[in-house]
């Protein structure tokens, strides 16, 4: 270690700061463009729906914003422990600095501003710009798209251990596979027949808990065609990890032909199904002792 | 101690096993289990469902209850309450003199309880860690190979529950009990018998939890979510009963420590001179005393749903799973700060000693801890952003959750200010303390993703969450725990720990901890849900890498155990009274610490971090210079 | 105290002070234990899952209000008497505390009697669950508090503890019991009147 620190002259202090700021600025200047331009387009969950896009934007922005903060703290720590390391055997006391009110105040103000700005921006995205960002909003959603009546309503029914889908606009047909038309507003109504599941359509940016007796609504607006993964994101018992399906976003024409073939195939089964409802109440499970 | 042994009449060795001690307790506990299970079986006679399914929850719960009563009775916990009911005098202490046998019985010496906690909790922590190794073995392959799905689920739930149960008392148990009285200049805790009880509830809780394996396992993970937990097999009863015992232990620990710190500080130990670790313990105790009772009530409701046919959590009968989720996380979020705050206290306690500087911004550190304590009661619904409850309140919970990063940031500022121009020595405790900040930085900032609802929709319920809380709990709490172990064990045991092995342990643990958990952020981003025994084949390379790192991480614990055995059993190099030249009051007493801690109640003259201050008086006057002022 | 402690006595006012502070923290913990039941009442009532919060379509539980009032009176009177007893001079607190003890036990006994003739049970949907859970656990807690009070009375009657300790103990029990009386008042208003 070349930095002599037996005497801490006042002239030394600004140089420590200068070095750290330069290291920080260089690292941040490298990291931020890399995150936004290189990592950003790979961050989840993609842009298959506008809600997924807003989630990717949120992930990108937060990674880019947190990178300089991480770098600043790490640079400070690493610089300090390298520059102020004591190698001698003797135990020598350092200068008795107890605090620095302007710096503490600045830190409090700085972190507060960042935090409040993040919360404000997050609330804006959630409520205004992306209609709940694909998350489940419960039976009475607060962030509703303006033309809700044109939505394609899809009821997602979680059960141990599969997902099924009912389409009230198509004679309540129930399918075990999900296809969606592209460039359309979709309204998922997620519920469960037994325990709590969580409907997670990864590329669509949808995650909504399937709770028995609850109609959990999530909105998305699909964009281009593609395949998406459907998983369960809430532990639901033995085969939780196997609640996996793939769905497709297809053209409206392809969707129409798929749903009508499903209607034909499922027509004989329809009379065994309970009437369409927002929730279903199978007989209560009791352990009886 | 030697004189005590000589006074006793010579008896055959086996006679020592009879009396109020752990062995009697084990025998009576086992007997109680069978009695209770038999009574429960008699209650169930004639119930077709129970006979058909062999799932008699009442029988199992009665077994646990009677077993617990037998265990506590065998340890002698009922002697005092009964003598009180008969009007005999109140006493404070019990069985404080005696040799090694004290460690296996109800002993009210806070130093004995500290050691009991260290080994007791350590054993269960090791079992929880073994579970993690078995889980990572399964995850070497994308489909179930090593364990069937049900066994994996049980392993996962046991790992989570065991770790949360045991790490809740990981720092407050061993170090809070041992060092808080020493740091505040007291001779004992406020309620020593309750202190002993808090420890002796831990072994039955751990054993009962492990017994779940015999009754069908736990299907729910550590959260025990309601409809799944209600219909789970009898192993769930073990989960509920064990977690309730831990809840009781935490509540009592909180009450005891809070009362001790509020009433038993030595004269001169003003609030601004209080060691920062004690502040951490104080804020944790507030959380324990208030949050843990909520857990007990929530679990009692689940227990009644299973055993008494109530419908608190049954939607179709007027209950709601949301009720459990709310109550559980109302406990659960303070719980994660019960885990984090003692860690903050320890690292801020250790940094000044090895940077040889006063703690920078002491009042800000206190404000940070109290701020976290206060805010932690208002954030619980951030675990439920996509659950469909109260979606209009999500911006509020987003704000409160993000606000917590402000007081947490204070702790980082304190550390940075303390290191600045310090004379930093890289001892083993200092390495662990510095690693704490690296890990907690990543853990804390990944929490910002989870607090932002749009981002949380991506990451909720995925491996991202799992990586996040392992960074804060393992990277935070467990690293702080090891910092405390290497810092304080010389005082507790009177023996030096081997430094070379300590450094090997640190570097292995630090490097492979990060190699294990950092890739899991990516696994979460790449659509891998938590708590699965199967995953996308494309993620196999990632998971194999993680498993390999996890095995090395696990074996670093073996190095620690080897170090412990080598240093405590074989090398036995006596520790100096104050090997780190610390100003802390706990280092001013002799090693080993005498039974009464202090000959006289010390008079505190200055704060514990006056390093480099010209003319700072010694931390405390321990000798007989003046008649101690009454009280504090 | 053990023999070896006698040379290193605690300062005399320490024990009363720890009892005072400890009882406050304990009472706070107790209150937080009952908060989930209060919360469950409002939450399940507001959600009214499946429309059966208040009971099954043809079976609405109605606990006897006479029992409810009797239990409430016993608990509140006992707490008030004990609170007053804690402030009395000399040994005058003893008969008052004994009366509070009797009233408290009477409340527990009445609660058990009510369970024997309840007319509904834990299976009766949301309300039935909250009623049985809340009142049952309250009775257990009340019984525990009465045991605590009995131990203080017994020590006082046997003269086996010094006055400052006994006074602090009575005060501590009375505070904890007063908090429980508040809990019972809330339980009465919600479970019997609001329902």
**What value of ipTM does the predicted structure carry?**
0.93
User: Residue B359: which pLDDT band, with cuts at 50, 70 and 90?
Assistant: very high
Mean pLDDT of all residues in C59-88: 93
Mean pLDDT of all residues in C65-77: 95
Provide CB contacts within 8 A for C83, sequence distance 6+. C174, C175, C177, C178
The minimal CB distance from C160 to the residues B89, B92, B187 is found for B89
| Alpha carbon distance B124, B568 (integer Å) | 20
Hey, of A119, A197, A231, which one would you mutate to test binding to chain B, going by the most B CBs within 10 A of its CB?
A119
Q: Which residues of chain A have pLDDT under 50?
A: 1-11, 288-289
Digit-coded pLDDT (tens) for B363-403: 999 999 999 999 999 999 999 999 988 888 999 999 999 99
Structural fold of domain A148-272: Immunoglobulin-like (2.60.40)
B351-367 burial, b if ≥16 CB within 10 A, otherwise e? bbbbbbbbbbbbebbbb
pLDDT of residue A287: 58
Comparing CA positions, the residue from B258, B157, B256, B266 lying closest to residue B213 is B157
On the question of pLDDT at C78 being above 50, the answer is yes
Percent of chain C with pLDDT over 70: 95
pLDDT of residue B591: 85
Percent of chain B with pLDDT over 90: 73
Which pair of tokens denotes residue B326?
């709310």
Whether residue A115 and residue B406 make contact (CB cut-off 8 A), yes or no, is yes
On the question of pLDDT at C7 being above 80, the answer is no
pLDDT of residue B16: 65
Its sign, for the CA torsion C42, C45, C46, C47, is positive
User: Residue B632: which pLDDT band, with cuts at 50, 70 and 90?
Assistant: very low
The minimal CB distance from B290 to the residues C17, C32, C55 is found for C32
Which pair of tokens denotes residue A201?
């359509």
Query: Could you tell me the residue ranges of all domains in chain B?
Result: 34-90, 92-585
Whether residue A288 and residue B231 make contact (CB cut-off 8 A), yes or no, is no
Greatest Cα-to-Cα distance within chain C, rounded to the nearest angstrom: 72
| Alpha carbon distance B65, B55 (integer Å) | 17
| Alpha carbon distance B30, C120 (integer Å) | 37
Query: Could you tell me the residue ranges of all domains in chain A?
Result: 12-85, 148-272
Average pLDDT, chain B: 90
Reported residue count of chain B is: 632
pLDDT of residue B631: 45
Percent of chain A with pLDDT over 90: 65
Chain B residues closer than 8 Å to A202 by CB: 527
Chain B residues closer than 8 Å to C2 by CB: 91, 93-94, 96
| Alpha carbon distance B325, B226 (integer Å) | 8
pLDDT of residue B15: 67
Mean pLDDT of all residues in B130-147: 92
Chain A residues closer than 8 Å to B386 by CB: 135-136, 198, 207-209
Digit-coded pLDDT (tens) for C15-49: 899 999 999 999 999 999 999 999 999 999 999 88
Provide CB contacts within 8 A for C112, sequence distance 6+. C139
**Counting one residue from A and one from B, how many pairs have CB atoms under 8 Å apart?**
320
pLDDT of residue A174: 92
User: Residue B259: which pLDDT band, with cuts at 50, 70 and 90?
Assistant: very high
Q: What is the DSSP string of B288-349?
A: HHHHHHHHHHHHHHHHHHHHS---SS-GGGT--HHHHHHHHHHHHHHHHHHHHHHHHHHHHH
pLDDT of residue B481: 95
pLDDT of residue B96: 72
Mean pLDDT of all residues in B203-231: 91
User: Residue B7: which pLDDT band, with cuts at 50, 70 and 90?
Assistant: very low
Mean pLDDT of all residues in B540-551: 95
Digit-coded pLDDT (tens) for A18-61: 999 999 999 999 999 999 999 988 888 888 999 999 999 999 99
Digit-coded pLDDT (tens) for B28-53: 999 999 999 899 888 877 666 666 66
On the question of pLDDT at B121 being above 90, the answer is yes
pLDDT of residue A153: 94
Nearest-CA distance C83 → chain B (Å):
21
Chain B residues closer than 8 Å to A286 by CB: 309, 314
Q: Which CATH class is domain B92-585?
A: mainly alpha
Phi-psi region of A132 (alpha: psi -120 to 50; beta: other; left: phi over 0): left
pLDDT of residue B280: 95
Chain B residues closer than 8 Å to C123 by CB: 309-311, 317
Question: Which has the higher per-residue pLDDT, B309 or C96?
Answer: C96
User: Residue B9: which pLDDT band, with cuts at 50, 70 and 90?
Assistant: low
Nearest-CA distance C126 → chain B (Å):
5
User: Residue B13: which pLDDT band, with cuts at 50, 70 and 90?
Assistant: low
pLDDT of residue B2: 36
Domains of chain C: 12-194 (1.20.120.80)
B152, B233 Cβ separation under 8 angstroms: no
The minimal CB distance from B293 to the residues C29, C121, C126 is found for C29
Which pTM does this prediction carry? Answer: 0.93
Nearest-CA distance B470 → chain C (Å):
29
Nearest-CA distance A79 → chain B (Å):
9
| Alpha carbon distance A55, A50 (integer Å) | 9
> Burial of B193 by CB count in 10 Å (0-12 exposed, 13-18 middle, 19+ buried)?
middle
Nearest-CA distance B629 → chain C (Å):
10
Mean pLDDT of all residues in B17-22: 81
Chain B residues closer than 8 Å to A235 by CB: 219-221, 223, 225, 228, 530-531
The minimal CB distance from B191 to the residues C22, C44, C47 is found for C22
Angle at B223 between CA B220 and CA B226, to 5 degrees: 65
> Burial of B627 by CB count in 10 Å (0-12 exposed, 13-18 middle, 19+ buried)?
exposed
């Amino acid at each position: 270690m070349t930095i002599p620190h037996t005497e801490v002259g006042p002239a030394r202090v600004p140089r420590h700061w200068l070095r750290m700021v330069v290291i920080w600025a260089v690292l941040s200047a490298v990291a931020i463009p890399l995150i936004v331009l290189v990592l950003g387009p790979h961050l989840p969950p993609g842009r298959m729906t506008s809600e997924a896009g807003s989630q990717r934007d949120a992930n990108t922005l937060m990674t880019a914003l947190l990178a300089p903060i991480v770098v600043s703290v790490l640079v400070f720590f690493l610089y300090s422990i390298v520059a102020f390391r004591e190698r001698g055997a003797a135990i020598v006391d350092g200068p008795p600095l107890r605090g620095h009110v302007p710096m503490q105040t600045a830190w409090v103000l700085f972190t507060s501003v960042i935090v409040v700005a993040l919360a404000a921006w997050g609330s804006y995205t959630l409520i205004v710009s992306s209609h709940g960002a694909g998350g489940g909003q419960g039976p009475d959603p607060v962030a509703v798209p303006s033309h809700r009546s044109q939505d394609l309503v899809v009821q997602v029914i979680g059960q141990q251990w599969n997902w099924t889908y009912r389409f009230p606009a198509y004679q309540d047909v129930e399918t075990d596979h999900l296809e969606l038309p592209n460039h359309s507003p979709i309204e998922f109504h997620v519920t469960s027949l037994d325990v709590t599941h969580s409907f997670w359509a990864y590329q669509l940016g949808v995650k909504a808990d399937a709770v028995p007796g609850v109609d959990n609504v999530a909105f998305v607006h699909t964009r281009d065609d593609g395949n998406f993964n459907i998983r369960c994101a809430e532990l639901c018992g033995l085969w939780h990890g196997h609640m996996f399906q793939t769905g497709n976003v297809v053209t409206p024409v392809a969707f129409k032909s798929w749903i009508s073939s499903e209607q034909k195939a499922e027509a004989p089964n329809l009379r065994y199904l309970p009437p369409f409802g927002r929730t279903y109440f199978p007989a209560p499970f009791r352990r009886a002792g | 101690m030697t004189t005590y042994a000589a006074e006793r009449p010579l008896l055959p060795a086996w006679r020592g096993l009879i009396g109020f001690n752990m062995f009697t307790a084990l025998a009576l506990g086992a007997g109680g289990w069978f009695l209770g299970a038999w009574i429960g079986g008699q209650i169930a006679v004639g119930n077709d469902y129970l006979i058909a399914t062999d799932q008699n929850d009442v029988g199992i719960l009665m077994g646990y209850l009677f077993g617990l009563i037998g265990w506590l009775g065998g340890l002698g916990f009922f002697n005092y309450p009964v003598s009180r009911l008969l009007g005999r005098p109140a006493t404070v202490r019990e069985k404080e003199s005696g040799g090694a046998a004290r460690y296996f019985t109800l002993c009210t010496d806070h130093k004995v309880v500290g050691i009991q906690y260290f080994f007791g909790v350590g054993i269960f922590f090791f079992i929880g860690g073994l579970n993690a190794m078995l889980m990572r073995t399964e995850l070497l392959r994308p489909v179930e190979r090593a364990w069937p799905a049900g066994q994996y689920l049980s392993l996962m739930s046991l790992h989570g529950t065991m770790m949360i149960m045991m790490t809740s008392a990981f720092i407050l148990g061993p170090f809070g009990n041992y060092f808080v009285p020493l740091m505040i200049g007291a001779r004992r805790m406020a309620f020593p018998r309750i202190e002993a009880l808090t420890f002796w509830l831990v072994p039955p809780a751990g054993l009962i939890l492990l017994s779940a394996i015999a009754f069908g396992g736990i299907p729910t993970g550590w959260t025990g979510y309601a409809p799944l937990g209600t219909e789970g097999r009898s192993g769930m009863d073990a989960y509920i009963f064990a977690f309730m015992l831990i809840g009781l232990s935490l509540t009592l620990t909180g009450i005891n420590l809070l009362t001790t710190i509020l009433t038993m500080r030595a004269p001169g130990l003003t609030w601004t001179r209080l060691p920062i670790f004690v502040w951490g313990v104080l804020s944790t105790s507030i959380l324990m005393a208030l949050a843990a009772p909520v857990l007990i009530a929530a679990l009692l409701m689940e227990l009644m749903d299973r055993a008494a046919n109530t419908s608190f959590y049954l939607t179709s009968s007027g209950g709601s799973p949301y009720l459990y989720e709310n109550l559980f996380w109302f406990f659960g979020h303070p719980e994660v700060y019960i885990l984090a705050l003692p860690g903050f206290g320890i690292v801020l306690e250790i940094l000044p000693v090895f940077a040889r500087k006063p703690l920078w911004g002491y009042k800000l550190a206190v404000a940070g801890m109290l701020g976290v304590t206060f805010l932690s009661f208002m954030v619980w619904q951030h675990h439920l952003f996509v659950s469909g409850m109260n979606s209009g309140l999500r911006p509020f919970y987003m704000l409160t959750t993000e606000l917590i990063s402000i007081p947490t940031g204070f702790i980082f500022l304190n550390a940075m200010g303390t290191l600045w121009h310090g004379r930093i020595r890289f001892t083993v405790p200092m390495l662990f303390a510095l690693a704490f900040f690296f890990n907690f930085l990543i853990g804390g900032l990944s929490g910002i993703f989870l607090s932002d609802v749009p981002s949380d929709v991506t990451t909720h319920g995925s491996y991202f969450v799992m990586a996040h809380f392992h960074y804060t709990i393992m990277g935070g709490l467990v690293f702080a725990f090891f910092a405390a172990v290497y810092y304080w064990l010389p005082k507790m045991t009177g023996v030096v720990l081997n430094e070379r092995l300590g450094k090997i342990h640190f570097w292995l643990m630090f490097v492979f901890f990060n190699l294990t958990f950092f890739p899991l952020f990516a696994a979460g981003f790449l659509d891998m849900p938590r708590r699965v025994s199967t995953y996308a084949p494309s993620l196999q390379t990632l998971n194999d890498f993680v498993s390999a790192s996890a095995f090395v991480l696990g074996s670093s614990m073996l190095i620690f155990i080897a170090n412990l055995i080598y240093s405590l059993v074989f090398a036995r190099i006596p520790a100096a009274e104050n090997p780190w030249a610390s100003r802390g009051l706990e280092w001013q007493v002799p090693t080993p610490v005498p039974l009464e801690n202090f000959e006289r109640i010390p008079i505190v003259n200055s704060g514990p971090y006056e390093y480099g201050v010209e003319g700072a008086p010694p931390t405390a006057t321990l000798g007989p210079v003046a008649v101690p002022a009454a009280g504090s | 105290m053990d023999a070896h402690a006698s040379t290193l006595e605690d300062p005399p006012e320490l024990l009363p002070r720890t009892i005072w502070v400890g009882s406050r923290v304990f009472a706070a913990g107790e209150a937080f234990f009952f908060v989930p039941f209060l919360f469950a009442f409002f939450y399940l009532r507001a959600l009214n899952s499946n429309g059966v919060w208040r009971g099954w379509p043809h079976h609405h539980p109605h606990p006897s209000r006479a029992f409810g009032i009797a239990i409430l009176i016993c608990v509140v009177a006992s707490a008030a008497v004990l609170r007053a007893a804690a402030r009395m001079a000399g040994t005058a607190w003893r008969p008052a505390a004994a009366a509070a003890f009797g009233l408290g036990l009477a409340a527990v006994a009445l609660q058990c009697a009510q369970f024997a003739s309840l007319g509904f049970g834990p299976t009766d949907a949301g309300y039935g669950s909250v009623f049985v859970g809340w009142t049952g656990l309250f009775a257990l807690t009340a019984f525990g508090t009465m045991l605590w009070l009995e131990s203080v009375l017994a020590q006082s009657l046997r003269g086996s503890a010094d006055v400052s300790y006994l006074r602090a103990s009575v005060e501590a029990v009375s505070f904890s019991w007063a908090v429980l009386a508040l809990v019972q008042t809330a339980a009465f208003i919600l479970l019997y009147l609001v329902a």
